[in-house]
Structure 1
Amino acid sequence: MAFPHLSEVLKILDGALKSNATMSTNYAGLLADKLEQDGERETAVRIRERLARAPTAVAHTQDASRISAGLPVDQESRLDTVDVSAPVKGAVTLHLPGGTANRITEFLQSVRHYDRLRAAQAALPLRLLLYGLPGTGKTQTARWIAGELELPLLTVRCDTLISSLLGQTSKNLRRVFDYVEQRPCVLFLDEFDALASARGNERDVGELQRVVIALLQNIDALSENTIVLAASNHERLLDPAVWRRFPFQLPLPLPDHELRLSMWKAMLGPFVPVNLNLEAVSTKSDGASGALIELVAMDTKRQAILAGKPQVDEGELFRRLALAMALGQGETLASLGDEICWLRKWDAKIFSIRELARLYSVSTRQINHLIQGNHGNAGKSPRKR
């Protein structure tokens, strides 16, 4: 039978053996929290009473203000190399396909029952690699996981971690991983490809190779129950050796029709017009990321609120969606005429001359004039950036 909370007990012992009071007290605080959750309130109180006698006691491991003390810094810029946040459980809403959501739940179960799995020799290192196009929810997923585990989220800042000084980046990595080992938290390596790009490229230099090697060595040196999340928009750039360090790998796809439909319903909420055809909105947003859908929904709701309307305007919703997708496709709509021609090309039925006149508060004659003024571009897409 697995010993409950063995991981925390071992971390406390590690801290004591290393004469690291911070590590011991941090994990003692986490042990007290877990015991209280298990109904062992008296034992938790006794642990906290003992911690209270220490000058640097940590009674609440989730307190981000405490964990922020002594953050690792880059010696060149003197800036912190990690950002600390404390996501609240239930504050982040995830919109993911069912299969993807199930795999995240599986990862959480592996974290929560790590000691039982290890006792049965079925535990895997608690490392999850998230990858997919921008806007598919990688950062939101990291925040959600930290919130569900009620642990601080330490996000590595690649802009300060990567130094211009020879060898400094590897030292920065070592400081970050040493810091993470001393406290219960979730380490989040965002924009992971900036650190873990494949070695051997023609443009590669020795220093970049050393950074990848240092990264791999630091990951290997971590305790297997230290929670590490990494996110990449360019997974093909990652070094092959990196993939082997992450037994949990999760692609985050663009939302399909059904997921887009549920996202529009959730994000527009009570601002959805009674007659709005959400099926059509979902269809027209094919290829949009979750971040783009959220942006359009928020912008349209904000416009309705400022106009004193209880619901969003259907035409305005489609207009903002069309323009956001144009931007995402690299279209440059330099003039009002370009914009109107794009809307007509995007869907002439939705954006009739009369509807465009209403949306832009001009006459139908002016709309026709703008279209005719852009007649040379009417049969082709506006300029690409």
Structure 2
Amino acid sequence: MASNYAGLLADKLESDGDKRQARMIRERLARAPAALASAQDAAHGFSFSNLPTDGESHLHTVDVSTPSLDKGSLLLPSAVENRIQEFLANIRRYDDLARVGAAMPSRLLAYGPPGTGKTKLARYIAGHLELPLLTVRCDTLVSSLLGQTSRNLRRVFEYSQQRPCVLFLDEFDALAGARGNERDVGELQRVVIALLQNIDAIPESTILVAATNHDQLLDPAIWRRFSFRIPMAEPDLALRRMLWKQYLEPFSAEQLDLDVLAQLSDGITGANIEQVCLDTKRGAVLSNASSVDENQLIRRLGLNLALTGGRVLSTVESEVRWLNGWAPKYFSLRTLGRLYDLSTRQITKILKEETSSGPQEHARATAVECEG
């Protein structure tokens, strides 16, 4: 009965000149059998018993979550924030924009280094729109069976259109890699073709978000399918200062020099800053401290920078030498002694050994960097 009434409504809209709305209703009716099967299990929302599965492993190919904005908003550079707000406005007022031919497909591609907030951005968008987030699991979506990956893709896209949601394709380069390179195989080319066809088949109002760390690997045809392309770069000085303040909560940041922290953390991502703050806050709680120790915070930042740069600091002595060489202004003999519970004489002895042990440490660090 509902299908019959929907068909009549589509006919009435078309006769009144609203062909776009009529077409959308008929597209929904074409998918009705799959949607009605799930509706028997879940009157509201998605049916978790009918999540799309891989035909080979029988594992789910999507995860469903309901992000919220309770933990604060995502901090982004001003230009990126403006572009995201434009994307959200395009979704919220899609029909108004469509009437004047100014609506763009609700598809966004975020790209940039790891740790710059691409996954958080997808959750941020879903939270702002108060929609469920469907995250595609590439580990189960990609199958070893010929043609199974393409079938899995089709099922995921069909499932995402049962009700309004944000479909999130993380690690997008695993599905949308450029065709034609010497190491390519026919099956990978078919997956890209299937992906392009599925994107083209969904209504322009369907919300699709994709993210990749390797935008240079994407097939050129993929870029044309996304009206909104967002570069996610490492945070600048002003943004790093805001990140330090946000991630240190609920500890007060008033006693800390956020400008110094922002300067010292040049070249690292927001994820690195978050990890340093989490480690520092955990240390403060375990030591029953009521505030964050600034020296401990900078120490953890220095060690994070060393790890990010591929340096091997496997002993206390190597940490002491690295910190003193990296930021001697903040790591005097007395400060290092307090942080590592060593005497000033012991710290002096460790630093004097730098000449003999430094080349070996540097060699190990260089070897790690070359392997990376």
Query: Paired residue for 2:171?
Result: 191
Show CA shifts across 1:204-253 (max 9, x none): 11111111111111111111111000001111111110000001100011
Letter aligned with residue 288 of structure 2: G
Query: Paired residue for 2:102?
Result: 122
Query: Paired residue for 2:4?
Result: none
Letter aligned with residue 202 of structure 1: E
Letter aligned with residue 330 of structure 2: I
Query: Paired residue for 1:34?
Result: none
Question: Which ranges of structure 1 fall in alignment gaps of 5 or more residues?
Answer: 27-54
Matched, 1:320 2:320: no
CA distance 1:304–1:242, change in 2 (3 Å): same
Query: Paired residue for 1:242?
Result: 222
Matched, 1:371 2:346: no
Pick one of 263, 268, 271 that aligns with 1:291: 271
Task: Confirm or deny: 8 A CA contact 2:38 2:47 kept in the other structure.
Answer: no
Show CA shifts across 1:92-151 (max 9, x none): 520101111110000000001111111111111110000111111101110010011111
Counterpart CA distance in 2 for 1:6 and 1:72 is 32
Deviation at 1:344, TM superposition (A): 1.4
Counterpart CA distance in 2 for 1:313 and 1:382 is 33
Counterpart CA distance in 1 for 2:301 and 2:21 is 49
Superposition pairs of residues 202-351 of structure 1, within 5 angstroms? 202-272=182-252, 274-351=254-331
Query: Paired residue for 2:54?
Result: 74
Counterpart CA distance in 2 for 1:104 and 1:326 is 33
* 1:128 aligned counterpart, secondary structure: strand
Counterpart CA distance in 2 for 1:284 and 1:344 is 14
Deviation at 1:13, TM superposition (A): 4.7
Counterpart CA distance in 2 for 1:346 and 1:329 is 13
Task: Confirm or deny: 8 A CA contact 1:153 1:187 kept in the other structure.
Answer: yes
Letter aligned with residue 181 of structure 1: Q
Matched, 1:383 2:358: no
Q: TM-score under structure 1 normalisation?
A: 0.84
Question: Which ranges of structure 2 fall in alignment gaps of 5 or more residues?
Answer: 1-15
Counterpart CA distance in 2 for 1:24 and 1:304 is 52
Counterpart CA distance in 2 for 1:92 and 1:227 is 23
Deviation at 1:277, TM superposition (A): 1.6
Letter aligned with residue 306 of structure 1: L
Counterpart CA distance in 1 for 2:36 and 2:306 is 51
Superposition pairs of residues 356-367 of structure 1, within 5 angstroms? 356-367=336-347
CA distance 1:68–1:114, change in 2 (3 Å): same
Deviation at 1:8, TM superposition (A): 8.3
Deviation at 1:362, TM superposition (A): 1.4
Show CA shifts across 1:274-301 (max 9, x none): 5422111110000110111111111111
Task: Confirm or deny: 8 A CA contact 1:87 1:147 kept in the other structure.
Answer: yes
Show CA shifts across 1:259-286 (max 9, x none): 1111111221352465422111110000
RMSD: 2.4
Identity of aligned residues (%): 54
Task: Confirm or deny: 8 A CA contact 1:14 1:24 kept in the other structure.
Answer: no
Task: Confirm or deny: 8 A CA contact 2:31 2:158 kept in the other structure.
Answer: no
Show CA shifts across 1:57-99 (max 9, x none): 63x44xxxx4423111111111111111011244452010111
CA distance 1:165–1:95, change in 2 (3 Å): same
Counterpart CA distance in 2 for 1:98 and 1:261 is 14
* 1:101 aligned counterpart, secondary structure: helix
Q: TM-score under structure 2 normalisation?
A: 0.87
Matched, 1:22 2:2: no
Task: Confirm or deny: 8 A CA contact 1:15 1:23 kept in the other structure.
Answer: no
* 1:228 aligned counterpart, secondary structure: strand
